[in-house]
Amino acid sequence: MRVQVDMSKCQAYGLCAEEAPDVFELDEWGYPELTDDGAVPDGQAPRVERAVGACPAQAIRATN
């Protein structure tokens, strides 16, 4: 799985980092930075799916 964040939609709510802290790290303004260039480690996919659902801005896209 790979994950992308549409930064034109992201509103820095930070819920992605709460759901999947090993994949999303927030910068000093609360915007997510993807670890490992968006590659989702094995076992993290369920957390990323929850992040996709939790994002109020619908800014996260995950592809297999």
The minimum distance between CB 31 and ligand SF4, in angstroms, equals: 6
Q: What gap in Å lies between CA 61 and CA 51, rounded to an integer?
A: 10
The minimum distance between CB 29 and ligand SF4, in angstroms, equals: 10
Contact, 24 vs 34, CB < 8 A? yes
Q: Write the interaction track for ligand SF4 spanning residues 31-50; mark x where CB under 6 A is met and - where it is not.
A: -x------------------
Q: How many residues would you count in the chain?
A: 64
Q: What token pair was written down for 38? A: 């968006």
Asked if residue 13 binds ligand SF4 (CB under 6 A), the reply is yes
Q: Indicate the SS3 state at residue 63.
A: strand
Contact residues for ligand SF4, defined by CB under 6 A: 5, 10-16, 32, 55, 57, 59-60
